[in-house]
Amino acid sequence: MAKRLKIIDRDALREWEEFRKGLINAATVDDTETIPEKRARIAKLEANPEEWFKYYFPTYYSSEPATFHKRSTKKLLADKRDYRVRAWSRELAKSARSMMEVIYLALTKEIKNLLLVSNSYDNAERLLMPFKINFESNPRIINDYESQQSPGRWEDGEFTISAGCSFRALGAGQSPRGTRNEAARPDFILVDDIDTDADVRNPDIIKKRWEWIEQALIPTVSISGNYRILFNGNIIAKYCCITQAIEKAKDVEIVNIRDKNGKSSWPQRNSEEDVDDMLSNISTASVQKEYFNNPLSEGDTFSEMRWGKVPRLNSFPFLVVYGDPAPSNSKNKSGSFKSAFLLGFKDAKYYVITGYLDHVTNDEFTQWFYSLKDFVGDKTQVYNFIENNTLQNPFYEQVFKPLFYEKSKTQGYIGITPDERKKPDKFSRIEGNLEPLNRDGQLILNEAEKDNPHMKRLEEQFLLISSKLPAPADGPDCVEGGIYIINEKLTALLPDTVIIGSRRSGTKKF
């Protein structure tokens, strides 16, 4: 009786069949080529792995590789005793490139026994499937290396090709003992997607998994023979298998979606516009974890923020709009955030009433001040400040003053005062001046603005602040600046008011 496939199995089978058809259609061969011509072409391709990849895998090699791709492949293929970690961002083709490299080594008979390891057997088998389909159906591989589907064991999770190399899928924790291809012990261990979001929340799981890797998996290779150990994965937590492998590896490659200059690491495939568009769709924490190897799932300074009802605006003696510009005049997501927030003080509480936090142009930034002016109307006095330290001063004079002047012609005059004070370290200011207020319930975010995406970003940045990790903190930095101004104004205008955390010597009152 025929076995009935589950719906999920049928869907997976359909997807793999579509993959197989696409592979067959893309990897066409020249039937008119003579045997000497074929041999010469194969030898030329094998001498140049990048050209080999491009010829045999046209569906994967759809974009020219970046420098880091070629450099990594060159090292991996040349070093016959290698322990490497590729902590490459999403969208940088970790798995695809590793598959091409492994198949190259297998067909040129450089390796004899590969273990593909993942967080579960099912995932390992899924990752091994493209290898198997290429050996079964890639017309160019079959034309040049003959059919690789050898007699005997030919299953999804374990098979041996005609060139002599065996492949086996292995889930974390499964026994790899006894894994041999005749006399050959594993000489390539490919660990891919070993960490999961759920697993890294439990250090005991990671500890146990890493012990399995070090005590059971890696010792399967021969001490005296050749071996390549390759870990593919993002750094999705401070403590995960990838971070453990980084401590042990011979060569570590950490490549983010953007390089140190804020440009796409693989511009041949991922344009600046495409990167911007993708990063704008997800949270800062997700961006940092998935695309920058920077797991900011938790900070160590603010555990939660307080949302509450804001008193009527006309009950405040005055309000402050504080703007913190970034020098870039673009919406590039790799740069700093611009911010402007409306803040007030009443009954010993500091309120963040509303505001803006985003990657915007200078013109949009100046327009925020007018939008906040309209938000308040004539309900109370508003003081407008813009950060203007010594590094920003030429920029303020040359860019922002003219922009405000032009807007005043159509929208009216706004008095802007530059904040020229020399600020201490950003983290120290935020931790020292805002964390105690938040902890004591004296820093309140406006609950009526809880669905405002700018206020959501502000809360997220507060919760990601850490003394150890480079989390974006432009919003909290702006709030700290506004509270500083409030304290200065309260001291000057309302000397009898209870002021929390004023930095002027002799004016701190409780």
Domain spans, the chain: 64-292, 306-493
DSSP structural state of residue 503: -
Amino acid at 441: G
CATH topology (fold) of 306-493? Nucleotidyltransferase; domain 5 (3.30.420)
Distance of CA 80 to the CA centre of its chain: 31
What distance, in Å, lies between the first and last C-alpha atoms of the chain?
83
Let me know: does 385 contact 322? Beta carbons within 8 Å: yes
Name the residue type at position 151: P
Q: Name the helix (H) or strand (E) containing 81.
A: strand 81-88
The three-class DSSP label of residue 178 is coil
List, in sequence order, every residue forming a beta bridge with 252; answer none if it has no partner: 85
Q: How far is CA 301 from CA 203, 287, 396, 458, 472, in A?
A: 21, 20, 32, 14, 13
Tens digits of residue pLDDT in 407-463: 889 999 998 999 888 877 788 888 888 988 998 899 999 999 999 999 999 998 898
Q: What is the pLDDT of residue 501?
A: 47
pLDDT at site 20: 77
> What are the distances in angstroms from CA 496 to CA 315, 442, 492?
17, 19, 10
Question: Which DSSP letter does residue 84 get?
Answer: E
CATH 3.40.50.300 fits 64-292, yes or no: yes
10-residue mean pLDDT profile of the chain (510 residues): values are 49 73 78 93 97 94 94 96 96 96 97 96 95 94 92 88 95 83 85 93 92 95 94 92 95 94 93 89 79 74 91 96 81 76 96 95 93 96 88 73 89 90 81 88 96 93 76 88 93 63 37
Listed in sequence order, the DSSP H helices in 412-473 are 426-433, 435-439, 453-464
* CA 260-263-268 angle, 5° bins: 125
Complete edge-to-edge strand list for the sheet that includes strand 158-161: 149-155, 158-161, 166-171, 113-118, 188-192, 227-232, 81-88, 251-255
Question: pLDDT exceeding 70 applies to what percent of the chain?
Answer: 88
What per-residue confidence (pLDDT) applies to 265? 96
A 10 A CB-CB count for 197 gives 10
> What does the pLDDT read at residue 223?
92
CA dist 454 to 323, 371, 385, Å? 14, 14, 19
In the beta sheet, which residues pair with residue 251? 84
pTM: 0.67
In the block, tokens 């389909």 appear at 133
* Selection from 496, 480, 491 nearest residue 443 by Cα: 480
Report the share of the chain in percent with pLDDT over 90.
62
Asked whether the beta carbons of 94 and 86 are under 8 A apart, the reply is yes
What pLDDT does 184 receive?
83
Sheet (strand 349-358) strand order: 306-308, 443-446, 349-358, 338-346, 319-324, 382-387, 416-419
Cα-atom radius of gyration of the chain, to the nearest Å?
Answer: 30
Q: How many residues does the chain have?
A: 510
Per-residue pLDDT tens digits for 88-139: 999 999 999 999 999 999 999 999 999 999 999 999 999 999 999 999 989 9
User: What rounded mean pLDDT belongs to the chain?
Assistant: 87
